[in-house]
Amino acid sequence: MSLDELNKGVREFCERREWEQYHTPKELSIGMVNESSELLELFRFKETNEQFELLNDPANREDIEDEIADVLFFTLRFADLYDINLEEALSNKIEKNEERYPEKEYKQSNKKYDQ
């Protein structure tokens, strides 16, 4: 499914429920954070090997996929309602990161560009 098809599916889902009145920038941003936190909660206090075990267990993987889908849902909804071209935004961000994190300088480094 393409990004446009995903956007259309989210839009139609929300329109049939008349949710636009609730989907302000603040509320959608809160939704993204809440759903991201629910994803994080699944991995909280887990050692690295336990994290990968979660991903390999079908029941836990379904929970992980559900939370990622929820984050994507809110992201798509925000972008659709407020006219953000996600493909363009991501492309622009990658360009900025190419400048901030030159490959030679940041290869195998987790330091932030301003450190």
Average model confidence (pLDDT) across the chain: 96
pLDDT at position 45: 97
pLDDT at position 47: 98
Q: What average pLDDT does the segment 45-53 reach?
A: 97
The angle subtended at Cα 10 by Cα 28 and Cα 65, nearest 5°, is 80
pLDDT tens, position by position, 5-38: 999 999 999 999 999 999 999 999 999 999 999 9
pLDDT tens, position by position, 81-92: 999 999 999 999
Query: Global pTM?
Result: 0.89
Q: Do residues 39 and 68 lie in contact, with contact meaning Cβ atoms separated by under 8 Å?
A: yes
Evaluate the CA torsion angle 14, 15, 17, 19 in order and state its sign. Answer: positive
